[in-house]
Amino acid sequence: MRKQWLSSVLPAVVATFAATAALAQSVDTGRIEAAGQNDWLTYHGSYKSHHYSPLAQINASNVGNLGVAWMHIPGRSTRGLQSMPLVADGVLYYSGSYSRVFALNGATGEVNWSFFPELDEALISRQTHSPYNRGVALGEGKVFVGTMDGRVFGLDAKTGKVLWETRLIDSQKLTVGFTGAPLYAKGSVIIGAQGGEWPGRGPIFALDAATGKKKWEFLTVAGTEEAMKTWGNESWRTGGGGGWMPGTYDSETNTVLWGTANPAPLYDWSGADYKTQGARPGDNLYTSSVIGLDIDTGKLKFYHQELPHDAWDFDSSVGEFVMLERDGQKYVVHPNKGGFVFVYDRNLKVQNVWRLVENINFVKDIDPKTGALIGRRDFPVGKVTEPPLCPFIGGGISWNAGSYSPKTGLYYKIGQEWCMTLDIQKTTPVTAPQAQLNIGADFKMVPPPGGEIYGHLDARDPITGAKKWEVRYPEPPLGSVLSTAGNLVFVPDSRGVLHAYDAETGAELWKHNNGTGHQGGIVSYSVGGKQYIAVTAGFGGMLADEYAPNFGGVYKSMPRDDGALVVFSLK
């Protein structure tokens, strides 16, 4: 009798338990790849980096009824709120400054749990690019987050309890840590360190998602014998690099795709003889490059250096690798800070290069067939004023993400039109890693020659760059862009206004003032059959801090230590 009960009931119990476990469980590689419409499981929306939601409940015909559903205030938002929220099974996860992590009910904003890591505050007070955090990763029932003092945490997604903690960087030595979101894929948590103008070697790490144990480390500065030959003298010891924004994963090639930061010092006095002269003679591999690493071993499989010997800080750290297919050909589209958009095949071989930004003069052009730079401006010691260098150090393209809509076939991306004057200095070579920046010039933001500073949202063909429409802004927006199947494009701007545009025409259909500037993520998700739009508001940081002195107006009184997550739904 008992045996009979077991045989008849137990399978049902097991099945129910398994179904529950599966539901609560797990964000895994297959699920992120499938990119279910109700969720937003990874920084770029899916591994395809579309930053697109297939939800259409909120659409061009009813967006006028969009209103605030709920808000969440993370507190201590020093330098604003810069992260990309993630959503799985109705729970919204996001991070704030000082790597504070929250798990909220996606329908109501009710706090499920929060995690405030105990950080080395004395160290953080000595950091320049700090204490903002740009997001978390989800995988295997965990939430992963990096910290400014060089650690990565694995948290229980249900409770926020620390399951593991791994220290990866001696932040005391370099004062760099992790501000970017990690990437979860195939059992690994991948995260890149800050680098760029810090004189280190810019590592990218992979950790075992289950245990936190380090699997591999790739040095973006002289990480191979081939690369070592591209750094003259001892400059490889302090070359900068790094990969501070999350890249993505291509399951077809088993490859992690990542964009790398600029070399140090930012500005070099070499002049045209940069191959043999200056602070870091040579091409400086693998800085300002896109790289493909075997996800299992961390070995470099292929790369393209977008800017050999980057002398302008127009690096490749932008994390988007927009994957799409056209006429049977598979492409990867990657924007570069200099204002060009590179189109690659899946092995990072250049297929095309096009300009998003009008004011570019650090090169005359980039060969669309090979990616070779044409007519470089390499500066010797002295002033750079006539003409000024374009774009400004903030880039023609900043680190936040654009959006690709498979429905319209258009890529929606923010461009920035601004320039800078410089005074290049011949600084003494920095021969050992140090605790502070290594810039190499004084500089100042100026308008483009004969024009004004402005920003623009472009709707472009992602392969050819053909422009369908453009919307202009008096100051460049700094937040991410979201497109949806509801024929909508959302742009959170710098003054604090969230705009919704018709995805086909660019006509503004709705706007809402969130009360402070945006410079973080925006996503869409669904809970209980209802669609939501979630955006982070809160200004401040390395680029936003330039707005008050240069633009005045609303920026003069805009806080740079505040922020909120604002979530919208139809009224």
Partner 1 sequence: MRLPCKTIPVGLVASLLWAALAQAQSATPVPENGTLEVEQVFAGTCGFCHSDGGRAAGKGPQLMNSPRDDDFIRNRIKQGKQGAMPAFDGAFTDAQIDQMVKYIRALKPREG
CB of 561 to partner 1, least distance (A): 5
Contacts for 565 with CB less than 8 Å, ≥ 6 apart = 71, 72, 73, 74, 81, 85, 92, 94, 104, 534, 535, 536, 537
Active-site residue, selected from the candidate residues 28, 39, 250, 313: 313
In angstroms, the CA 508 to CA 502 distance is 6
The structure tokens listed for 270 are 């070499």
Question: Is residue 313 annotated as a catalytic residue, yes or no?
Answer: yes
DSSP secondary structure string for all residues of 156-176: ETTT--EEEEEE---HHHH--
Residue 15 per-residue DSSP state: H
Nearest one of 369, 363, 361, 360 to 342, comparing CA atoms: 369
3-state secondary structure of 30: helix
Output the CA–CA distances (angstroms, integers) from residue 496 to 163, 478, 564, in the order listed.
37, 11, 12
Residue 135 per-residue DSSP state: B
CB of 145 to partner 1, least distance (A): 20
Nearer to partner 1, 232 or 541 (CB): 541
Q: Are strands 365-366 and 373-374 parallel, antiparallel or unpaired?
A: antiparallel
DSSP secondary structure string for all residues of 259-314: E---BSSSS--BGGGTTTSSSS-S--TTTTEEEEEETTT--EEEEEESSTT-SSS-
3-state secondary structure of 420: strand
Contact 113, 120 (CB under 8 A): no
In angstroms, the CA 131 to CA 98 distance is 5
Nearest one of 411, 203, 205 to 323, comparing CA atoms: 411
Cα 563 to chain centroid, rounded: 19
Residue-wise burial string across 289-304, b where 16 or more C-beta atoms lie within 10 A, e elsewhere: bbbbbbbeebebbbbb
CB of 213 to partner 1, least distance (A): 29
Q: Which residues sit opposite 334 in a β-bridge? A: 342
Nearer to partner 1, 89 or 423 (CB): 423
Compute the chain's Rg from CA coordinates. Answer: 23
Contacts for 455 with CB less than 8 Å, ≥ 6 apart = 414, 415, 416, 417, 472, 473, 474, 475, 476, 477, 494
Contact 293, 255 (CB under 8 A): yes
| Identity of residue 399 | W
- Binding residues vs partner 1 (CB under 8 A): 78-79, 125-128, 130-131, 172-173, 175, 197, 265, 421, 423, 425, 427-428, 430, 434-445, 540, 542, 545-546, 549-550, 560-561
Nearer to partner 1, 441 or 459 (CB): 441
Q: Which residues sit opposite 353 in a β-bridge? A: 342
Cβ of 26: how many Cβ atoms within 10 Å?
17
Contact 494, 475 (CB under 8 A): yes
Annotated catalytic residues are 313
